[in-house]
Amino acid sequence: MTVTAPTALRVSRVLLEHNDDPSTLGTATPRLSWAVETGDPGWQQQAYEIGFTPAGGEEQVARVESAEQLLVPWPLEPLTSRAGGTVTIRAYGPDGAVAESEPLSIGVGLLEASDWQARFVGPAGQGLEDPAPIVFTTAEIAGEITSARLYVTALGWYRFAINGTRVGDEELAPGWTAYHGRLRYQSFDVTELLTSGENRFQAVLGNGWFRGQMSWDMHRAHYGDKLALLAQLEITKADGSTQVIKSDETWQSCASGILADDFYDGQRTDLSIPLDPAGKEAKSVELVEWDLDTLFAPYGPPIRVVETLPVKEIITSPSGKTIIDFGQNLVGWVRLKTRGEAGAEVIIRHAEVLEHGELGVRPLRKAKATDSYLLSGGDDVCEPLFTFHGFRYAEVSGVADLDPSRVEAVAISSDLRRTGTWASSHDQLNQLHQNVVWGMRGNFLDVPTDCPQRDERLGWTGDIQVFSPTASYLFHTGGFLSNWLADLAVDQWEDGSVPSVIPNVLGETHNGAAAAAWGDAAAVVPTVLWQRFADRDLVATQFPSMKAWVDKLISLATEDGLWLGGFQYGDWLDPTAPPENAAKAQVSPDVVATAHLIRSAALVADAAELLGKDDEAKHYRGVSERSRQSFIDEFVTGSGRVLGDCQTAYAMALVWDFLPEDRRDHAGRRLADLVERADFKVSTGFVGTPLILDALELAGRPDLAWKMITATENPSWLYPVTMGATTIWERWDSMLPDGTINPGQMTSFNHYAFGAVADWMHRRLAGLAPAEPGYRKIIIAPIVPIVPDGLDWCEASYDSGYGPITVRWQRSGDAVELTATIPPGVTADVRLPDGAEHQVSHGDHAWTAVPKTKEEA
């Protein structure tokens, strides 16, 4: 083994809470995290100092004797609304050597409802079918401006401008939360946009999630029927005076050229009417009542444009339609530049796939996914403001001789920082992983949605429950998912039931009021965030929600702890389920339900132990153990065969450790037999898919796990890849081998749930697995297939809170060369393919090993 190390000694990154933008913190006591770089392989942090220098003041310093680096408590006096300054971190080693950060500018938002002088205003007498309104005002600003900050949000979506210049780069702001309990606001430094004298302020308002159509029932105005803006501009001048410009009843309104907007149906725009109130008939506004106590600052990044894609190909369909192929299934819209006769109409229709050469729109169900534009007669840009689509293909009409250089696809997503990568010598697996990334990117649109294209696009709890480990490796999801969990707690019913979608727009009558694997997101997702980001406070915040969910399950269970009967999704989308009944799986819903009761009760017990709640830990541990024993008695034979005798049944029992030791071997052998008999095809739905490959390893058959993930016949992970998929599909066979779309009423080509397998690819194929919260300790133990089958090397990297971790292995003759880079603060247990084990700390490491043969293993 050889060891080298980097040469710098410095604090390389400081993070406040989970937000990469510390300019508008929503707490008076922000937690801090930092990474250290050092050239000393023996260096360890012994203590740290946090220094805060308020604007125009002296540095305040607190020293703490601790090796902690992640989400450490704010040790100084609490900050106040609008506080600003810089933070500096100093980490001390045992010899007194100090690693210091560059000063980081921070700012605090408006922490109290009383900080708001502005009021929500919207057009007087507005109707649901009216064009998107503009609310606006002008104001005189006298004197030299030294700083100005705009605090703004809306009921609906907004686009704010000052003196004709757009403020910020956020899309679909303020995003989607459980509006009745939580409404996010944004904050912008707008100093450079202001001028002495008269200034113009305006915002265009769109329906968005607040007032647009929601769910397959297409009902409108779920949260309210009045669009409104809340804006407060606070200006500081050179003479020390301040001026506040705020939305109130003196503002005015007018109609825009956005004639209709809806995120299911699309946007219709008259481009001859500019998005400016100049020259339009001004009308009055009205105050719209809203509880200002619901306002909060962002937990994580906003939705932004994350990429633009050029045209891959322009196709003429069999019916003569002009269709653009962008080569990638994405979420966003088309930007098209054109010039035509005034009043002429350009129509753009969207779809994820082609069927028989035409746009495949049946999976959209009732969503029209159509943008239309009435041209101005000059140079026009056809681009919507208040909608989004899931698509790869766009059918364009109304443009003669379409120039591909004047068209692009605009991809949007919550602008999460990418943290995890994965690559290998296996092209199909690389494409599978890329499909997972694009599927997450398109569906992480302020909430973790199930799909981005049809009349749904909802935050289904079951999807994120299974996908959260993968998501939290690929991107920094700490703030994003913490925000979603806060909405879950708001929308959770008094009896502890968890709605199937969060935010809940399906109502109390929806069947999935207490459905296994869906509601269990209340217990699972906080646990994942603890494991991946060491966020203990998040567990404490969510603990009442976690406990309430399990208490609900206890109330539904039999006296001996079995959860039987009632509505269940079960192992949703088991590949054997008929197209019209996705819940008809091989495994009994009672087995799935009881398994999740066992697991969630254990997770609540773990959370209680973490939080020092010993009595509750004992209680929920007892609940879990009682249900586990009843599971064995009711569903497991004396030899170890599990009711249902299918992949998912054994995967749950093995991975979640339900079986007595004397029955595990038989269960493992039976699982291996089932997989071999299926020719390594997948036979799992939402519940079993994240578990099946780990279960095969626990059964002592990693060779079968490798054969399963590289199978290409339907159903398999690589079957969609062979069909040209660029995202993960909802069904294993969303498109049939003959190129026709699955006949089921419910099918989508961008659903991330089955992409949960990427977590196994990260942990096992590459060998980079967390072993302690926040990756403070990791396990490096890659599976190296005995028969290469195209896998000659594999690598993964993860940008942890401590710094970047990388692992790579490659074949060299009969040997395998393994390298790893580990940042300070992290230790690793290394298990080589020849069985040797090592414990290492930070630095660059390299090993060579000759893997065991199948017989030796």
Tell me the catalytic residues.
456, 730
- Asked if omega into 174 is within 30° of 0 (cis), the reply is yes
Please give the full DSSP string across 61-109, using - where no structure is assigned: EEEE-----SSBPP-SSPP-TT-EEEEEEEEE-TTS-EEEPPPEEEEB-
Nearest C-alpha neighbor of 564 from the set 530, 588, 535, 528? 588
∠ CA 642-648-650 to the nearest 5 degrees?
A: 40
Calculate the CA 844 to chain-centre distance: 31
Nearest C-alpha neighbor of 480 from the set 728, 730, 184, 770? 184
Question: From its phi and psi, is residue 680 left (phi > 0), alpha (psi between -120 and 50) or beta?
Answer: left
- Asked if omega into 715 is within 30° of 0 (cis), the reply is yes
Only one residue has tokens 């915002």, namely: 203
Phi, psi torsion values for 117, nearest 5 degrees: -95, -25
Nearest C-alpha neighbor of 778 from the set 752, 796, 755, 805? 805
DSSP H or E segment with residue 370:
strand 370-374
Using CA atoms, how far apart are residues 852 and 831, in angstroms rounded to an integer? 13
At residue 44, the 3 state secondary structure works out as coil
Calculate the CA 263 to chain-centre distance: 19
The beta strand positions in 258-321, using DSSP E, are 258-262, 266-270, 283-287, 295-296, 303-310, 313-316
Cα distances (Å, whole numbers) of residue 462 to 198, 360, 414, 458, 720: 52, 27, 20, 11, 22
Nearest C-alpha neighbor of 357 from the set 389, 398, 313? 313
What single letter denotes the amino acid at residue 395? E
Residues whose CB is less than 8 angstroms from the CB of residue 415 and which lie 6 or more positions away in sequence, other chains included: 301, 302, 303, 304, 306
In degrees to the nearest 10, what's the CA dihedral of 731, 732, 734, 736?
A: -150
Please give the full DSSP string across 777-824, using - where no structure is assigned: EEEE-----SS-TT-SEEEEEEEETTEEEEEEEEEETTEEEEEEEE-T
